[in-house]
Amino acid sequence: MEYTLLTDLEPHKKHATIQVCVTRKWLFRGANDNAPLQHVDMILSDQKGNAIYAEIPANLANQKAPDIEEGRINNISRFRVCTTKNGFKVVDGDKMIQFTFYTIVKRVINPPTVFPRYIYRLTPFDQIESNIQTKPNFLGMFLVS
């Protein structure tokens, strides 16, 4: 089967199937950790190291989120491609994936080993301070010892 690379996804491509690794997965509840679930968020990466933000809406979380595990390779189809949110970007790019009622997630039993384990973009040290108060980039730390 041929899979669409994340860089080739477009809103008009309604029959794309992607093979991706779930690099990160977390629950978004807003400003308060005790608030109701708003959506399940993910970072997905393809075999070429491209990454995209994906979201499962709260009303589908019980049905779709259990099929998604960090580190697992999945074939995903029947999803919506749309423009990224303005306020919070965890990866570079102008597109994101939204799961729908019709989204199909199938675990890959014998996955290829070419998927990157981490997705990141390094900010030069002299530019870190100028990015602190801006919203377009999610800043985090990854320490290796």
CATH of residue 85:
2.40.50.140
Q: Which amino acid is at 60?
A: L
- Kindly state whether residue 100 falls inside one of the protein's structural domains: yes
Q: What radius of gyration do the chain's Cα atoms show? A: 16
145, two tokens: 């010892």
Find the mean pLDDT for residues 76-80.
Answer: 96
105, two tokens: 């997630």
Domain extent, residue 65, equals: 6-131
The residue assigned the tokens 């997705």 is: 119
> For the chain, how many structural domains are there in total?
1
Phi, psi (deg, nearest 5) at residue 110: -115, 75
Find the mean pLDDT for residues 77-88.
Answer: 88
Predicted confidence at residue 140, as pLDDT, reads: 54
- pTM summary value: 0.82
